[in-house]
């Protein structure tokens, strides 16, 4: 009886080790692919939504370009009347140039260098860049809303 208990315990240990090995080798080791065109910058900026210049951000679909913060400024977008997205105002798919500052056109951000168009709702490249094999979305910044104040930081 003792031998059978020992053998079943030994078998369970082998199965446990096998399970751990399978789990270890089945995990992917892919590195996070960083955008080579945009550097990380540290900043923190607050916006008072009670000010008239930011009134558009109180409503769904409202957007605003802020020239300070980030690399070339910040694009702010109100997705649903409450949630705010903040994006870097530089085109994500080529080296920084004078023309790579994005401008807002309705619900899109447009790069005047290559006419790339990005969605302000998702940050994804939706037009242009067909010949570019590695397409990058807009660089997202942390945006927190506290009543009538938005704090954007990286």
Q: Mind spelling out the 3-state secondary structure of the chain?
A: CHHHHHHHHHHHHHHHHHHHHHHHHHCCCCCCCCCCCCCCCCCEEEEECCCHHHHHHHCCCCEEEECCCCCCCEEEEECCCCCEEEEECECCCCCCCHHHEEEEECCEEEECCCCCEEECCCCCEEECCCCCCCCCCCCEEEEEEECCEEEEEC
Q: Is 38 domain-assigned?
A: no
Q: Is 32 domain-assigned?
A: no
pTM attached to this predicted model: 0.77
- pLDDT tens digit string along 69-127? 999 999 999 999 999 999 999 999 988 998 999 999 999 999 998 889 999 999 999 98
Q: Is 95 domain-assigned?
A: yes
CATH of the domain at 52: 2.102.10.10
| CA distance linking residue 117 with residue 103, whole number of Å | 10
Q: Is 136 domain-assigned?
A: yes
Segments forming the whole domain that contains residue 92: 44-153
Q: Is 94 domain-assigned?
A: yes
- pLDDT tens digit string along 27-77? 555 566 778 889 889 999 999 999 999 999 999 999 999 998 999 999 999
Other CB atoms closer than 10 Å to residue 17's CB: what's the count? Answer: 10
Q: Is 93 domain-assigned?
A: yes
Q: Is 27 domain-assigned?
A: no
Q: Pick from 60, 48, 63: which is nearest to 103 by CA?
A: 63
**How many domains does the chain contain in total?**
1
């Amino acid at each position: 009886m003792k031998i059978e208990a020992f053998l079943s315990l030994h078998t369970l240990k082998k199965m446990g080790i096998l399970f751990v090995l399978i789990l270890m080798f089945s995990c992917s080791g892919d590195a996070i692919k960083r955008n080579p065109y945009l550097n990380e910058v540290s900043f923190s900026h607050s916006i008072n939504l009670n000010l008239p210049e930011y009134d558009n951000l109180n409503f769904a679909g409202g957007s605003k370009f802020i020239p300070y913060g980030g690399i070339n400024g910040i694009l702010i977008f109100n997705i649903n009347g409450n949630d705010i997205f903040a994006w870097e105002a530089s085109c994500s798919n080529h080296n920084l140039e004078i023309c790579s500052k994005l401008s807002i056109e309705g619900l899109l951000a447009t790069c005047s260098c290559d006419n790339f168009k990005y969605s302000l709702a998702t940050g994804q490249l939706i037009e242009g860049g067909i010949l570019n094999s590695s397409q990058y979305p807009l660089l997202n910044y942390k945006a927190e809303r506290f009543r009538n104040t938005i704090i954007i930081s990286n």
